[in-house]
Amino acid sequence: MFALYMRVGDHILNDFKPLGIDEELAAVLQAMEELKCSHLPVLDNGKYLGLISEDDLMDIEDTEDRIEEHLKVLKPYQVLDTTHIYEAIKVFGEGNLSCLPVLNEEGKYIGYLSPLELMWDLGQQVSYAEKGAVIVLQVSVRDYHISQIAQIIESEDALILGLQLRSEGTELLRVAIKINQSDLSRIVKAFERYQYNVVELYHESIFDDTASDRYEGLVKYLNI
């Protein structure tokens, strides 16, 4: 089930009309305020030209100008509908975007991605929605063996629901593993026996009354 929703094409939104190059900048700023979105796609006769950002518009003195007079400020951020969502998330981060245009294989604009909606969709996937806990390991690149990590977890009658990697320089990896058990004490001890460095633990208790505050903070960050 998880793999069925890992393409950008499964998360496209199309609830507003892209901008044309004849739009006045004042109207664009008003649209951004109404949509709570600081980036909007610009098309010319159906061809995608790029993203226009609120920050760039604020640097232009005359808001009666039209977009076509300032095409040089457009940013070329885009992804194809066949792109994996992990790549899309990378693009979101690189551009600090509130909107990411999606094109089909013919280069035609077909919609956009929202970081908040994408987070919500991912939260419904099995590996995220399934109850369990998360253990985070720090391992050297040369010592990273997914087969051994899986064997240790499975030897304690547990299953891996999801796994993510993050590099820490050129020598170290941080490995976050979602496991289908809420009590990780035996698994932690098993990793320690194999001399793994357990650096973080997230149990079900993380979903307490303060979780809503964390969620609201994340929403505020994503709603750029």
Residues 169-196: tens digit of each pLDDT: 889 999 988 898 888 999 999 999 999 9
pLDDT at 123: 63
pLDDT above 60 for 166: yes
Of the two residues 213 and 138, the one the predictor is more confident about is: 138
Of the two residues 4 and 75, the one the predictor is more confident about is: 75
Smallest CA-to-CA distance from 201 within 122, 159, 138 is with 138
Smallest CA-to-CA distance from 45 within 21, 27, 69, 72 is with 21
Of 114-118, 134-138, 157-161, 202-206, give the lowest mean pLDDT range. Answer: 202-206
CA-to-CA distance for 137 and 196, rounded, in angstroms?
A: 7
C-alpha distances out from residue 126 to 4, 62, 82, 178, Å: 11, 50, 21, 11
- Helices 115-123/211-222 angle, 10° precision: 140
Distance of alpha carbon 218 from the chain centroid: 12
pLDDT digits (tens, 9 = 90+) for 62-115: 999 999 999 999 999 999 999 988 889 889 989 999 999 999 999 999 999 998
- Alpha helices by DSSP H, listed for the chain, are 25-35, 54-58, 85-95, 115-123, 126-129, 146-154, 185-193, 211-222
Mean pLDDT for all residues in the chain? 85
pLDDT band of 162, cuts 50, 70, 90 = confident
pLDDT at 157: 93
pLDDT digits (tens, 9 = 90+) for 20-72: 999 999 999 999 999 999 999 999 999 999 999 999 999 999 999 999 999 99
pLDDT band of 6, cuts 50, 70, 90 = confident
Domains of the chain: 2-122 (3.10.580.10), 130-206 (3.30.2130.10)
CA-to-CA distance for 61 and 53, rounded, in angstroms?
A: 15
Q: Which residues pair with 167 in a beta bridge?
A: 173
pLDDT at 89: 87
pLDDT at 206: 40
CA-to-CA distance for 6 and 81, rounded, in angstroms?
A: 11
Cβ–Cβ under 8 Å, residues 125 and 161 = no
pLDDT at 224: 41
Smallest CA-to-CA distance from 32 within 61, 2, 52 is with 52
Residue 107: partners with Cβ closer than 8 Å, 6 or more residues away: 47, 48
Q: How many CB atoms lie within 10 A of CB 89?
A: 16
- For range 147-161, the mean pLDDT: 92
pLDDT at 136: 92
